[in-house]
Amino acid sequence: MGNYRIAVLPGDGIGKEVTKGAVEVLKAIETRFGHHFEFAYGWIGGAAVDQKGTPLPEETLALCRESDAVLLGAVGGPKWDQHPPHLRPERGLLQIRKEMNLFANLRPVKFYDSLTDSSPLKQEVIQGVDLVIVRELTGGLYFGKPSGRMVENGEEKAVDTLLYKKEEIKRIVKVAFELARKRKKKVTSVDKANVLSSSRMWREIAEEVAQEFPDVTLEHMLVDNAAMQLIRSPQQFDVVVTENMFGDILSDEASMLTGSLGMLPSASLSASGPSLYEPIHGSAPDIAGQNKANPIAAILSAAMMLRLSFGLSKEAEAVEKAVQQVLAAGLRTADIAQKGQRVVSTDEMVNEIKTAILDHQTISHIMAVYA
């Protein structure tokens, strides 16, 4: 039985609803397994701009640093779209990733039998898909300098820079290899080495790291081809490792293999200190506040937290099993519902998942008493 302090940063839009759901599920885990979770809330994103005048207040960062792990919802919304760059909600997210050194973003994509019909792709294509995108999260095109707008000789210009230091590539590729070693032992390193210098260096370093992992196969794939292969034959992938922006794009694409962006969790692991867990989806302003959002990505992110930050595998499995159970029982939020299927609200989905976690307790308790 353990005590854990979790910083909760709901953020904007549906971020608030889905983190609330994930916290409730964590409370069910507390009850069933006898742990103690302390939840401490902080502002981030547009909500933080409104409340504190900055998308990542110092106190939020301090709270996260003092916690054992961070659970984040989503940031952004039309309300802040016209703000200058330093007052945009997304800036808060990028800053927290950088400040906390969250360089390794793991985005697992797993096929659910019961959601076969929710994916726009054919069953034979998505059957058995089980891959992880390892996205570099604190470098590359999102952070390289120079970045910004300027006027030169009367001409308006804008620039972003894709820059990596050798060590940054090495450590993310290592994470991919270590992960692959525990899985199907295959790493696909995705780059654009036919055009970009940074990709050519990435490829060399991936080859170097591969020497330390003779039991793992390394293959290189150009990012345009990878985008196509993810749709053509996604079963070929085990661990995909790639640059920040390539990973952003490919992970949204890959989410459709499961049926919905609302299904994909992620873990952002730190080089030093607490890790952060967040659904890969955004704040979905169009459905925010309507109790319609799919909370599963946030709930599965909480499961990743249990496993990766707290070493609570049994507890993580209990969450994942409960999700599987309610999906198999036909529960569907709007994003994963087929025509004619009954659609449940965020709250209903959360409640059923909680019940699935807690009911088991009753049964195992009875079994223990009568054993």
Residues found near ligand IPM in the complex (CB under 6 A): 75-76, 90, 93, 248, 280, 282
**Catalytic, out of 4, 112, 174, 192:** 192
Ligand-binding annotation for 153, yes or no, is no
- CA-closest candidate to residue 26, choices 268, 309, 238, 237: 309
214 is in an annotated binding site: no
Taking the alpha carbons at both ends of the chain, their separation in whole angstroms is: 23
99 binds, among Mg ion, ligand IPM, none (CB under 5 to 8 A by kind): none
> What is the dihedral sign for C-alpha 196, 199, 201, 207?
negative
Q: Residue 205, SS3?
A: helix
Known binding residue 85? Answer is yes
Q: Is 117 a catalytic residue?
A: no
Q: Which is nearer to ligand IPM, 64 or 322 (CB)?
A: 64
Tell me the per-residue interface mask from 302 to 341 with Mg ion, x by CB under 5 A, - otherwise: ----------------------------------------
Active site annotation includes 166: no
- Least Å distance, CB 369 to ligand IPM, is 46
Q: Would you say 11 or 57 has its CB closer to Mg ion?
A: 11
Other CB atoms within a 10 A radius of the CB of residue 83 amount to 14
- Active site (annotated) includes residue 248: yes
Active site residue 224: yes
Reading the block at residue 128, the tokens are 């058995």
In the complex, the smallest distance separating the C-beta of residue 93 from ligand IPM, rounded to whole angstroms, is: 5
The 10 Å CB-count burial string (b at 16+, else e) for 260-269 is bbbbbbbbbb
Phi/psi of residue 38, each to 5°? Answer: -105, 125
From residue 232 to residue 261, what is the string marking binding to Mg ion with x (rule CB under 5 A)?
A: ----------------x-------------
CA–CA gap between residue 22 and residue 110 (Å, rounded): 19
- Contact indicator for 108, 132 with CB cutoff of 8 Å: yes
**Token duo for residue 144:** 């390289």
Output the smallest distance, CB 90 to ligand IPM, in A: 4
Is residue 184 annotated as part of the catalytic site, yes or no? Answer: no
Residue number with CB closer to ligand IPM (280 or 312)? 280
User: Which residues would be at the binding site for Mg ion (CB under 5 A)?
Assistant: 248
